Amino acid sequence: MKKIIITVICLSLIGCSGSLHTVQNTPSYPDLLIRLQRDACFGTCPIYNLIIHFDGKVEYEGIAFVKVEGKQSSQISHVQLEELVNAIESVDFFSLQDQYPPSVTDMPFIQLSITLNGQNKTVQHYGSLACGEEKSLKKLCELEHKIDTIVNSNQWVGNE
């Protein structure tokens, strides 16, 4: 009889212990797709494309003036994806202008396209010189830099 009581108590405690732990939900963005394209300038600006998928898969294609030409891939964590989504939301990406006219034309053309939560938007601008001119453009440039930092594009692009 003691064994039955002890078994019932143990099973009850095991059953209760499961409810004491909270399951931490990993945020899910099933339609998340981030594309960052950096194009040519009148010089040796790195030319490459980055694509970040909803599952953290990163695709890189180095075209010219980069350390690694061709296609490469890597993976970022769910925490890093969440950091990117927070950055997208903090700059209010979907309310930015579609294009920011160039102040000078010899800078690289940059295009950022994002799909998130059923919204899709592409924003284009020229180079980093314009990044300090307008508040929303400065935030856009900071987001582009954050994308490069989180995926560690420097491993392929190098310090050119």
CATH number for the domain spanning 151: value is 3.30.1560.10
Residue 63 lies in a domain: yes
Residue 54 lies in a domain: yes
Is the confidence at residue 55, as pLDDT, over 60? yes
Residue 16 lies inside a defined structural domain of this protein: no
Structure tokens at 19: 């409810």
* Residue 20, domain member (yes or no): no
Round to whole Å and give the CA distance between 117 and 119. 6
Dist CA 118 CA 106 (whole Å):
35
Number of domains, the chain: 1
pLDDT at residue 100, as a whole number? 87
Position 22 confidence tier, pLDDT thresholds 50, 70, 90: very low
Q: What is the pLDDT of residue 12?
A: 52
Percent helix, strand, coil in the chain (nearest 5)?
40, 30, 35
Interval 93-148: pLDDT, tens = 999 999 988 777 778 899 999 999 999 999 999 876 667 667 888 899 999 999 99
Please write down the HEC assignment for all residues of 128-155: CHHHHCCHHHHHHHHHHHHHHHHHCCHH
Range of 89's domain? Answer: 33-157
Rounded to a whole number of angstroms, the CA Rg of the chain reads 23
Q: Which of 5-19, 22-36, 127-141 has the lowest mean pLDDT?
A: 5-19
pLDDT for position 148 = 97
- Predicted local confidence at residue 124, as pLDDT: 94
Q: Residue 5 domain-assigned?
A: no
Residue 147 maps to a domain:
yes
What pLDDT is stored for residue 157 in this prediction?
A: 97
In the DSSP assignment, the letter for residue 101 is -
